[in-house]
Chain A
Amino acid sequence: MTLLSSVTGRLTAAALSLAVALPAVAQETPSSGGVANVAIQPEPPGLMLPLVQNAPTQRVAGNIFEGLLRYDADLEPMPQLATSWEISDDGLTYTFHLHPDVTWHDGEAFSAADVVFSADVFLRETNPRTRAILDHVASIEAPDDETVVFTLKQPFPAFIQAFEVGTLPIVPKHLYAGTDFYNNPANNHPIGTGPFEFAKWDRGSVIELDKNPNYYEAGKPYLDKIYWHVIPDAASRAAAYENGTLNIMPAGSVENFDIPRLAKLDGSCMTEAGSEYFNPFAMLWLNNREGPTADKRFRQAVMYAIDRDFAKNVLWNGLGKVPNGPFSSTLAAHDDDLQPYPYDPDKSRELLAEMGYKGEPVRLLPLPYGETWTRWAEAVRQNLEDVGIDIETESSDVAGWNQKVSDWDYDIAFTYLFQYGDPSLGIARTYISSNIAKGSPWNNVEGYENPEIDKLFAAAAVENDPDKRQAMYDQIQQTLHDDVPLAWIMELAQPTIYRCNVHDLITTGIGLNDGFKNAWIEQ
């Protein structure tokens, strides 16, 4: 049912092609004042971003906390808490020079000690993704109050991509050092350095952020307040945008079929910018361990059988991109020459006949993230049945999906993952055999084991020479493309719909998660 399933909709990314990027009037001088009314769904479980790695938490708390760097749409680093930085020629030493005039929201001065504490103590304990990145780091030191030096064990070129607010948020040492992080009273009133301060949270209704009057970048932020409206039903969110109560609808807050309508309203704008850092990538896990999906020919047959253009044009309003292989096309390491699997049911039937598939039932597990994903599973099922595969669809809620995927209790399962702008941050984890372990829906769930791929990913991650690195990534893409450890079905778009009088809403590749410090409203 639309209502209830949309309640769980987390990422319902998509839209249509009449995307209006940042309008030309954005050249005008920003004016202060005004309020952002933004939809947020689901309600975040907490706002202590360094503790809670949940999409809605990142979106709201990206205004309260900050990282050392931000990244533009090409993922080039930009200053934030660090004003400048140097990487030594051997790729082992990263030196950051911090902004001198930063204070925490409670008035305490920010210093290099906060950075060392956050990276070396807090995040190593609490954040599994950051922990994995910090495994490359031998030491983190603060020679003075305005300098931090990371020394790596071996070169790790992707390291410079790891300093955005969601990956390496800076935590106030004076509030957290020596405490039980999870039961710290500051968790209910998070203190950051960001352009907005936590003001109030009426659970179930609204989260209120106030302008930080002492923000270190002169004149910013421009907005007086941000209200995050918790509205569980997608139709009600759309109505609230239509009648003007809300002026910003982040990706995932509008059901796909409603995106064309809302984007076409008078004074309504849409942009797909702001997901370059994340590259959400939709895939089908194919269980490489047992059943028909253990046979490479079966997996290739699946790739030939699925009409990916149909899904893109009909289910996702033509937004997004059909991938040619395992790497998102926005990554620098993407191999543009790789030929995508075409939609070719005959070829698919040939492969199935060759392997001797006799109609053994294959279980399909859809992703319970709302209407579009349900329809998508129906379309894929129809494609697969067309070539003679016997599909049994198994339905569950999000927790059940999690459990089944984590326990490898599936044959084919929908998912989507972020690629985080670099293969060693967001892609290797899906294919290397050391990452096979029950209990997580985000590791090498399909059970693909290939020593050659393991070696290549390990070598590429620490290769400092860009050309040599690219050669290895090309080889990886070619091998994976041929082996089809899983099916790559869509590079998802993340459209934001907003009133056109809101300017400079998205100015980096991190999008809305990067905070609203540049956003202003034309009065």
Chain B
Amino acid sequence: MAYVSLILGRVGKAVIVLLAILVFNFFLIHAAPGDPAAVMAGEAGATDQQFLDDLRERFGLDQPLPVQLWRYMSGVLQLDFGYSYRQQMPVLDLILERLPATLLLTGAAFCISLLFGIIAGALAAMRAKRPSGSIIMGLALLFYATPLYWVAMMAVLVFSVTLDWLPAYGYSTVGADYTGLAHVGDVAVHLILPALTLGLFFMAVYTRMTRTSMLSVSQQDFVKTARAKGLAPGVIQRRHILRNALLPIITLAGLQAGQMVGGAVLTETVFAWPGIGRLMYEALMQRDYNLLLGIFFFCALLVILFNMLTDVIYRLADPRIKQGAT
């Protein structure tokens, strides 16, 4: 029961936080110089007052700011995120159209980085005093320190331009119109470079953290006890050390997962991946207020959801953690 009321309390707080974020973002966006009408008039290369007035009236920008805020918030409370005048589509449609591509990319990067990061970190911990362990840590340090966009561009140059093994950009082959399994395979091939690029940094982080955490756990008394009672070294590593070393990894994974919607701007840009990150960047440049607020809302929502999920997983990983202890 305590568990349920804890969750309910969390949800209540989350709603308040979300609304506060929306209001804050609303004023933040409007504080930036320029508005969508001016941007569109600027791009037209010619404009007059009538053109600007028409645009502002259609966008509702001729109203005082509090009225605009009220209109927007009352729309959101009815799950209506407004209309992107720039893209001439409802915001929700735009976001839902681009969301699958982003979740596929960030989800794949998340799985790759978590899986390979923990394996590499565990190996490095077990071979802490051998050259192979040093090599793993050296690589991890390299990936940790290399800027994402550089890795992305080098990957394109090597694997697409020089070797011609993988497509340079995009979500699927233009004009191929594959269906069924062929389409899945096509998307998967396009996914490899961006997902690896995006995953490399976090993979390096997980590797370093897993190793450190495992080494510190392996010094503790219960590990000595396990050894003393004659358990096999592999079992000790897996069941005793690794499991106890996982808590900080879970914390970090929760943070990474929270960034899944908006955290791939650079990767999506370099690989022309049709996702939310790019949509957000363009909306920012074009002062597409409704669209930008909508994306911020989804990002905030996801962060909150994953924070809650992380708490739940803590309890599963370590039953000693109880309500109030976090």
Contacts and interface: CB of A to CB of B under 8 A. Distances in A.
Q: Does B associate with A?
A: yes
Nearest to B287: A399
Contacts of B171: 202, 205
A240 B169 contact: yes
15 contacts: A7-B269, A46-B88, A53-B43, A128-B47, A128-B48, A182-B58, A203-B98, A203-B274, A230-B274, A236-B169, A240-B168, A402-B39, A429-B46, A439-B38, A440-B47
Given A187-B88, A239-B168, A400-B32, A128 B44 contact: yes
Contacts of B157: 239
B42 to A, nearest CB: 4
Contacts of B164: 243
B47 A442 contact: yes
Nearest to B87: A45
A243 B43 contact: no
A204 B98 contact: yes
Nearest to A407: B33
A499 B40 CA distance: 33
B38 A54 contact: no
Interface of B: 32-35, 38-52, 58, 86-88, 94, 97-98, 101, 149, 153, 156-157, 160-161, 164, 167-172, 174-175, 266, 269-272, 274-275, 278-279, 281-282, 285-287
Contacts of B286: 45, 399
Interface stretch (A35-43, A329-337, A451-459): A35-43
Interface of A: 3-4, 7-8, 10, 35, 37, 42-43, 45-46, 52-55, 128-129, 131-132, 182, 187-188, 202-206, 208, 225, 227, 229-233, 235-236, 239-240, 242-243, 245, 396-400, 402-404, 406, 417-418, 429, 437, 439-443
B321 to A, nearest CB: 41
A129 B44 contact: yes
Nearest to A167: B46
B186 to A, nearest CB: 13
Contact of B168 (A8, A45, A245): A245
A231 B274 contact: no
Nearest to A205: B274
A188 B286 CA distance: 20
B38 A402 contact: yes
A110 to B, nearest CB: 25
A233 B52 CA distance: 31
A42 B97 CA distance: 19
B87 A440 contact: no
A403 B161 contact: no
Contact of B45 (A35, A53, A404): A53
Given A240-B169, A243-B168, A418 B272 contact: no
B48 A131 contact: yes
Contacts of A245: 167-169
Given A236-B271, A399-B33, A403-B33, A188 B48 contact: no
B59 to A, nearest CB: 11
Interface centre among B41, B86, B271, B281 (most CB of A within 10 A): B41
B266 to A, nearest CB: 7
Contacts of B170: 205-206, 229, 231
Chain A binding site: helix, strand, loop or mixed by DSSP? mixed
Nearest to B175: A227
Nearest to B51: A128
Nearest to B173: A245
Nearest to A441: B42
B296 to A, nearest CB: 17
Contacts of B39: 398-399, 402
B43 A55 contact: yes
A206 B174 contact: yes
B169 to A, nearest CB: 5
A403 B34 contact: yes
Contacts of A399: 32-35, 38-39, 42, 285-287
Contacts of A440: 41, 47-49, 52
A336 to B, nearest CB: 27
B269 A54 contact: no
Contact of A3 (B88, B169, B174, B269): B269
Nearest to B148: A3
Nearest to A183: B88
A239 B46 contact: no
A204 B50 contact: no
A187 B41 CA distance: 19
Nearest to A130: B46
Contacts of B174: 37, 205-206, 227, 229
A233 B269 contact: yes
Contact of B272 (A53, A203, A205, A243): A205
A235 B34 CA distance: 29
B176 to A, nearest CB: 11
A230 B44 CA distance: 20
Contacts of A400: 32-34
Contact of B49 (A8, A53, A202, A437): A437
Nearest to B281: A7
A439 B52 contact: yes
Given A128-B44, A397-B285, A404-B33, A204 B88 contact: no
